[in-house]
Amino acid sequence: MRTWIPDDRKFAYLNWKQIEALPKERTLLVLPTGAIEQHGHHLPIAMDTLGANLLLGRALELVPKELPIYALETVCYGKSNEHIGFPGTMALSASTYMAVLRDIGASVHASGFRKLLLFNAHGGNTALNDVMARDLRAEFGLRTFHMGAGAGAKLEGLSEQERKYGFHAGEVETAFLLAATPELVDTGAYTVNYIAKIEDEKILSPENGPVNFAWLTRDIAPSGVMGDPRAATAENGERWIAACAEKAAKALMAAFEFQ
């Protein structure tokens, strides 16, 4: 899998003697979490794993070289049962996914480290990363953190409609790959599907409403796209990647400094 994580930030490129010699109390380990799941007709199923590698890699380039902050290998399979029924989606159950995170956390702890940050690029993992960050804190005393790969960055030029409801294979993800791996975007195969409109907010909504109903993609988005990729450009993609990386680098630094 393609990654933008610099070699000197890859925990797995160290040998165990080098790992033993790290300042374990201070070292921040970052576990990227992604998914392998359908992303419409135009993006690869690796989208969220590429996104995690891309945004974390670019963020790590902005962190001072001398600080001991390392990326673990990306958990590429995620909790993707919302996309079941589309060829290529590889979903872990919630219990399997949580067990994977629990065992990685146990190994981080057994290796003598204290700080673990979960860096997530797939919406279906968010609730579970939240739970596991707290569980790893409780079970192992790890200082844990969890964040979205976008780090809450403001994406200039993105419409309010797309910001709120373009969350799957829409303009943002398409722009990211147009900038980073344009050969993986089929620009002739865009489809558009909004599951809700901001001017037509209802009490009961699929996302971000006062009351949300649980949805499966096949119920609400026949092509698998939730959003509109048509306005995506490589230029915006590069600007948005840079904006996310800058915010994420600040988040990594804050976690590193947090006692």
**What is the binding site for Zn ion (CB under 5 A)?**
47-48
Q: How far is the CB of 220 from Zn ion (least distance, A)?
A: 16
Q: Are 230 and 190 in contact (CB under 8 A)?
A: yes
| Least distance to Zn ion, CB of residue 43, Å | 8
Count of positions (residues) in the chain? 259
Q: What are phi and psi of 240, to 5 degrees?
A: -70, -35
Tokens of 112: 């003598």
Q: Supply the minimum distance, in Å, between the C-beta of residue 146 and Zn ion.
A: 17
CB 95, min distance to Zn ion, A: 22
CB closer to Zn ion out of 105 and 124:
124
Q: Give me the least distance between CB of 168 and Zn ion, in Å please.
A: 5
Measured at the CA of 23, the angle between CA 13 and CA 130, to 5 degrees, comes to: 75
Closest CB 178 distance from Zn ion, rounded Å: 15
The nearer residue to Zn ion, 48 or 171, going by C-beta atoms, is 48
CA distance 248 to 253: 9
CB of 38 vs Zn ion, minimal distance in Å: 9
Name the residue nearer to Zn ion (CB basis): 29 or 177.
177
- Name, in order, each residue with C-beta under 8 angstroms of 236's C-beta and a sequence gap of 6 or more: 155, 157, 158, 171, 175
Angle, CA of 104, 110 and 116, to the nearest 5°: 50
Q: Where are the beta strands (DSSP E) in 113-255?
A: 115-120, 143-148, 204-205, 211-212
Which residue, judged by CB position, is nearest to Zn ion in the bound state? 48
Q: Say if CB 88 and CB 37 are below 8 A apart.
A: yes
3-state percent breakdown (helix, strand, coil) of the chain, nearest 5? 45, 15, 40
With the CA atoms of 166, 33, 39 and 58 taken in that order, what torsion angle do they form, in degrees rounded to the nearest 10? 70
Pick the closer one to Zn ion by CB: 2 or 134.
Answer: 2
CB 48 within 8 A of CB 37: yes
Residue 47 vs 69, nearer CB to Zn ion = 47
> Among residues 29 and 151, whose Cβ is nearest to Zn ion?
151
Whether the Cβ atoms of residue 192 and residue 228 lie closer than 8 Å to each other: yes
Pick 40 or 105: Cβ nearer Zn ion: 40
